Amino acid sequence: MPVANAAFVDPLLMPRVHRVVEVVPEIDDVVTIRVVPVDGPPAGFLPAQIGMVGAFGIGEAAISISSASDTTSHHDYTIRRAGAITGALTSMGAGDELWVRGPFGRPWDLDLDGCDVLIAAGGIGLAPLRSAVSAIAAERDRYRTVTLVVGARRAADLLYAREYEHWREQGVDVVPTIDRAETGWSGRVGFVPSVLDDLDVEPTRTAALVCGPDIMMRRTADSLIARGVTADRVQLTLERNMQCGNGLCGHCQLGGLLVCRDGPVVRYPAVSRWLAVEES
Amino acid sequence: MSASAFRRFLDVLFDEYDEVVGPTVENGTVRLRPLESAADLSTGVVDEQEAGTYRLRPSGTPLHFSHGVGPDSLKSVVHPARSPVWTMYRSDGSLVVDPDLTPERRTAVIGAKACDLRALAVLARTQTEGPHADPGFVARHDGLFTVAVDCTHPAPTCFCGTLGEGPAAADGFDVALTELVEPESDTAEYVARVGSTRGRALLERLELDVAAPALLARAEVELRGADRALLRELPANAADVVGNSEHPHWWVVAERCLTCGNCTAVCPTCFCTDMEDRVDIDGATARRTRVWDTCFSQEYSRLGATAHRSSTMSRYRQWLTHKLGTWHDQFGESGCVGCGRCIAWCPVGIDLTAEIESLAREPAAR
């Protein structure tokens, strides 16, 4: 018998095949796909961790798991149709197969006992925060006030709007806001940072979780810090082009950070210098 | 080591290893390639390098290593341009994934210079010392038998000396050689140094003589000459200089940069890779390959439908800022070893040492 050569493969590059069990249309161009692995229970994860979700022959994209982290039967991915890969993923139906690697990355630090928790989401930025909302609601008495400000261009673009009432029942003060006034809208109007400026904030005990476009996160963080919130207590989750998820391929760099390894959740001081530079 | 002893040394390498990689002349360039036999080794050529220029001419000597670095580095050996990851296909209507297992190969490399060894250590840190190590890299790196050759012919594009390296190989090799011309016979001769126990074991099989003091003295003269030949330099504060993201000179470089990515391809430490997915023509099988990528492409920073770094300015800035600045944050050192490859192989001759000089100057008042 010839001795086989030693051979190697990077285990983190090996995907697991998953099956789509349900597709929920959300807002324009955005759907949530619910998936289960074909070979066993889904991997455990923590809020804001990312799955590399792939479509056969097309490629994969980094997408945060938006279901609750204590749900062990399936994972949800909320995906906006933007390019070829997300186009393929958002066109899938129940029974279709895709693949997932991960979960990767650093989660939200939710050990914020006794804090007022301020959650700020811009657009589809609510997706990586949905699992944080679920986790906080599940242990609601660890925190003081919990406020979620959700911004969208139009009322029809408010993500997960059907769940706001349920979150309110769980003790989360949900404050939706839209960019411009429109017929039939009686809620707040304005961008997330300016709505936050109108809220009462007790800076010494406030912690913030922020996700949205870079400019929205910067404005939100700067404004909270200007009001006295400790910069280290402002957490952001970043989106960059991730390819490997293992910290080895270099794609998701932001300044000195490799977002898949050092993020996606970071504390604001780690990135403030780089978010301030265009195209950095 | 006489020319004939060197030949025996090569024979042992060919005997012991699946593959011996060394410098060979291909299309007028010294490339690092698997050698079929000792005859493939580059012989009697010297290079002329300047910004945007690389040429070989006859050296009139019997030397094999009388040239500076070519476009290849040890990166090609331990972090290949293409490495297969997996194959996916449908079986009974369901997707199946098979890993593409890379067989381990025992490789020896000859002709690595001090900057190459330093670059190998820098590259290894990026791929193996984070929370997750690339097992393929680890296997290729651990198995590599390295024969260094002291750099007696640095190119004018090099500046390893200003980074505290070379021209002699100091560590990170199994065997190191200094190559000289034996004046009586006009043949090559070598002084060998041992850098590891397996290097010692291999040399002991050759039963070499201890180098005579006169030979050692000549070797030292050669190396001192090489040290003096280094012209360019990188200032010690380069990391701070690239930290000035808003300096107007970034836009000036961008007017010349073609974003071709040659600099990242030839850089011995540029490690970025992409995942390439290809489907066979019958649509039934997809193959994933890890391939070298470049931060100079728009695709590199694509997010959804658009590129995060769409301007040439931002892409050149990302490359140099990472190489000289944020590399320190990520890996505790600079990503530049001073080999000068990016200067020679830039089609428009962009020279990072000159760009750093400009970026270090106070911008003119606007």
B310 Cβ under 8 Å from any chain A Cβ: yes
Q: What is the pLDDT of residue B228?
A: 65
A204 Cβ under 8 Å from any chain B Cβ: no
Please give the Cα distance from B82 to A126 (Å, whole number): 38
Mean pLDDT, chain B, as a whole number?
93
Lowest mean pLDDT of A83-97, B152-166, B297-311, name the range.
Answer: B152-166
Q: What is the pLDDT of residue A3?
A: 36
Lowest mean pLDDT of A162-171, A258-267, B103-112, B353-362, name the range.
Answer: B103-112
B309 Cβ under 8 Å from any chain A Cβ: yes
For range A71-89, the mean pLDDT = 95
For range B257-285, the mean pLDDT = 96
Please give the Cα distance from B279 to B283 (Å, whole number): 6
Would the CB atoms of A57 and B100 count as touching at under 8 Å? Answer: no
Residues of B with CB below 8 A from A243's CB? 273-275, 293
Read off the pLDDT of residues A26-76 as tens digits, 9 standing for 90 and up: 999 999 999 999 999 999 999 999 999 999 999 999 999 999 999 999 999
pTM (two decimals): 0.94
Q: What's the gap in Å between the CA of B4 and the closest CA on chain A?
A: 34
B311 Cβ under 8 Å from any chain A Cβ: yes
Please give the Cα distance from B191 to B162 (Å, whole number): 26
Q: How confident is the model at residue B229 (pLDDT cuts 50, 70, 90)?
A: low
Please give the Cα distance from B301 to B280 (Å, whole number): 27
Lowest mean pLDDT of A265-269, B46-50, B209-213, name the range.
Answer: B209-213
Would the CB atoms of B134 and A246 count as touching at under 8 Å? Answer: yes
Would the CB atoms of A13 and B301 count as touching at under 8 Å? Answer: no
Mean pLDDT, chain A, as a whole number?
95
Read off the pLDDT of residues A113-140 as tens digits, 9 standing for 90 and up: 999 999 999 999 999 999 999 999 999 9
At B40, list the tokens.
């493939």
Nearest CB to A277 within list B245, B271, B277: B245
pLDDT at B93 over 90: no
Read off the pLDDT of residues B78-87 as tens digits, 9 standing for 90 and up: 999 999 999 9
Nearest CA in chain A to B311: A279
Buried/exposed code over A102-116 (b: 16+ C-beta within 10 A; e: otherwise): bbbbbbbebebeebb
Lowest mean pLDDT of A4-18, A174-188, A245-259, B134-148, name the range.
Answer: A4-18
Task: Please report the DSSP string for A161-229 in residue order.
Answer: GGGHHHHHHTT-EEEEEESS--TT--SEES-HHHHHHHS---GGGEEEEEES-HHHHHHHHHHHHHTT-
DSSP three-state, residue A155: helix
Instruction: Report A:211-250 residues touching B (Cβ under 8 A).
Output: 239-241, 243-244, 246-250
Would the CB atoms of B311 and A279 count as touching at under 8 Å? Answer: yes
Nearest CA in chain B to A261: B131
Please determine, for the modelled complex, whether the ipTM score is greater than 0.95: no
Strand order in the sheet with B285-292: B94-99, B82-91, B285-292, B273-279
State chain A's maximal CA–CA distance in angstroms: 79
Residue range A116-275, CATH number: 3.40.50.80
CATH architecture for residues A11-104: Beta Barrel (2.40)
Prior bond of B58 cis (ω within 30°):
no
Amino acid at B241: V
For range B46-53, the mean pLDDT = 96
**CB B191, CB B215: distance < 8 Å:** yes
At B34, list the tokens.
């698997």
Would the CB atoms of B97 and A256 count as touching at under 8 Å? Answer: no
Nearest CB to A244 within list B275, B283, B329: B275
Ranges of each domain in chain A: 11-104, 116-275
Strands of B27-101 (E only): list them: 29-34, 45-50, 53-58, 82-91, 94-99
A96 Cβ under 8 Å from any chain B Cβ: no
Q: What's the gap in Å between the CA of B272 and the closest CA on chain A?
A: 5
Would the CB atoms of B286 and A56 count as touching at under 8 Å? Answer: yes
Instruction: Report A:43-82 residues touching B (Cβ under 8 A).
Output: 54, 56-60, 80, 82
B100 Cβ under 8 Å from any chain A Cβ: yes
Q: What is the pLDDT of residue A2?
A: 34
Residues of A with CB below 8 A from B305's CB? 82-83
For range A69-87, the mean pLDDT = 95
Nearest CB to A246 within list B102, B132, B271: B132
- Which of B275, B281, B318 is the best residue to mutate to test the A interface, defined by the most A CB atoms within 10 Å of its own CB? B275
Read off the pLDDT of residues B95-141 as tens digits, 9 standing for 90 and up: 999 999 877 789 999 999 999 999 999 999 999 998 899 999 998 99
Q: What's the gap in Å between the CA of A239 and the closest CA on chain B?
A: 8
Please give the Cα distance from B314 to B308 (Å, whole number): 9
pLDDT at B334 over 80: yes
pLDDT at A159 over 80: yes
For range A143-153, the mean pLDDT = 98
Q: What is the pLDDT of residue B365?
A: 59
Q: What is the pLDDT of residue B99?
A: 94
Ranges of each domain in chain B: 3-82+90-228, 238-360
For range A197-207, the mean pLDDT = 96
Please give the Cα distance from A64 to A211 (Å, whole number): 12
Q: How confident is the model at residue B366 (pLDDT cuts 50, 70, 90)?
A: low
At A19, list the tokens.
């099956």
B127 Cβ under 8 Å from any chain A Cβ: yes
pLDDT at A1 over 70: no
Please give the Cα distance from B301 to A279 (Å, whole number): 10
